[in-house]
Amino acid sequence: MGAGSIGGYVAGALLAKHSDVVLVGRARVGAELAAHGLTVRDFDRPATTVPAAQVRFATEAAALADRDVVLVCVKSAQTAEVAAALAQVLRRGAIVASFQNGVRNAAVLRAALGDRVVAGIVEFNVVSRGEGVFHRAISGALKLARTDAPPWREAVAALRGAGLEVREYDDLGPEQWSKLVINLNNAVSALSGAPSRDLLRVAGYRRIVAAVIEEAVAVLRNARIPTARLRGIPVRIMPRVLRLPDPIVRVITRAQMRVDPEARSSMWEDLTRGRPTEVDYLNGEIVRLAEAHSAIAPLNRRICALVHEAERAAAGSPNLSADALWTRLNA
């Protein structure tokens, strides 16, 4: 449900192994897939194309009525609407998994769908290249809450069989908060237009990301919310790591993950396509949490304001340099 970048990539990986998959998404995406098929590209294996005739695509949730498992990959602002639509069509016993950003989506889905909902995290980044091509541009796993329901066990096996790394957790909460903290850099990418790799390689952008994360870590600590290690590194020391000299940062980040030159945040893609972003569910979540605990998060609040300003301008990324963005954040 939601055949955007993540949904398209995961569906393509499953279809390449002959899984019984239905995609639901925008008519524009359906036209792309009908014309070109569905192609998934990755770091270390050749591209795989599923012919258009083998791609089952629809624009309405009713197409999922006979599914055993539904993977929800829509943007956070659409979750409540999608949950209501799924509640009307899904059969008894169907499992719904949230493959979305933020920390609230599984709860929103449960409000309409009950305990059948599985929380999930997608660690990797996917870039939609057009013409039905979905390119995974940052390495990572699917992190999922552990659930024993038989349809879900089959789905997990199918995901692993499709070459996706799947990790399961009894308590996904700390992992979700750590993922949200690292996703705070999405807005920096959106406002700068810089590829994800530059956010790690360019000292000026790293300074911004470090400051935004440092503020978030302080808010989480004040709220007594636990976090998990992020690719082996405690979240609380990430700002310190990002402020190290360039050569050391490159060695550390290269050991943690692979980042393709094509990688850009989904928020950058949303600005480019003139769509609303998820900034309120990422940086805005830190602002809300700070307010709930009588604290402040001025950098993340300013990030939200700048992204909304760019949304209203409807001209794509403002392409702010590191110095220009730093100045605007501290104005």
Residues 179 and 165 in one domain: no
CATH of the domain at 148: 3.40.50.720
- What local confidence, expressed as pLDDT, does residue 159 receive? 97
Structure token digits, residue 133: 């091509």
Question: Beta strand pairing status for 48-50 and 56-58?
Answer: unpaired
The reported pTM is: 0.92
Do 267 and 121 share a domain, yes or no?
no
58, 23 in Cβ contact below 8 A? Answer: yes
Instruction: Give the 3-state secondary structure percentages of the chain, helix then strand then coil, rounded to 5.
Output: 55, 15, 30
Q: What is the pLDDT along the chain (331 residues), one digit of tens a residue?
A: 999 999 999 999 999 998 899 999 999 999 999 999 999 998 767 899 999 999 999 999 999 999 999 999 999 999 999 999 999 999 999 999 999 999 999 999 999 999 999 999 999 989 898 999 999 988 889 999 999 999 999 999 999 999 999 999 999 999 999 999 999 999 999 999 998 888 888 999 999 999 999 999 999 999 999 999 987 789 999 999 889 888 887 777 665 566 666 677 889 999 999 999 999 999 999 999 999 999 999 999 999 999 999 999 999 999 999 999 999 999 8
Residues 214 and 145 in one domain: no
Domain boundary (140, 170, 200) is at 170
Whole-angstrom distance, CA of residue 272 vs CA of residue 266:
10
Residue 27 confidence (pLDDT)? 96
The two tokens of residue 184 are 């705070």
Structure token digits, residue 163: 């070459």
Quick check: helix, strand or coil at residue 23? strand
Q: In sequence order, what are the residues at sequence separation of 6 or more whose Cβ sits closer than 8 angstroms to the Cβ of residue 247?
A: none
Closest by CA position to 10, among listed 98, 78, 94: 98
- The number of domains in the chain is 2
Supply the CATH number for residue 186's domain.
1.10.1040.10
β-bridge mates for residue 99, sequence order: 120
Q: Which of 128, 143, 170 is the last residue of a domain?
A: 170
Check residue 246 and give its pLDDT: 83
User: Would you state the pLDDT for residue 262?
Assistant: 67
Dist CA 151 CA 118 (whole Å): 12
Residue 257: per-residue pLDDT: 60
User: Which strands sit side by side in the sheet containing 48-50, from one edge to the other?
Assistant: 48-50, 38-41, 133-138, 125-130
Joined together, the tokens standing for residue 271 give 């600005």
Domain range enclosing 181: 175-329
Verify that 204 and 98 share a domain, yes or no: no
Residue finishing a domain among 170, 194, 209: 170
Single-letter amino acid code for the residue at 280: D
pLDDT at 255: 56
Model pLDDT, residue 248: 84
Q: Give the pLDDT confidence score for residue 254 in this predicted structure.
A: 67
Q: Are strands 166-169 and 125-130 parallel, antiparallel or unpaired?
A: unpaired
Residue whose entry in the numeric block shows the structure tokens 């066990």? 153
Q: Are residues 77 and 163 in the same domain?
A: yes
Task: Tell me: do 276 and 136 sit in the same domain.
Answer: no
Shortest CA distance to 187 belongs to which of 39, 67, 302? 302
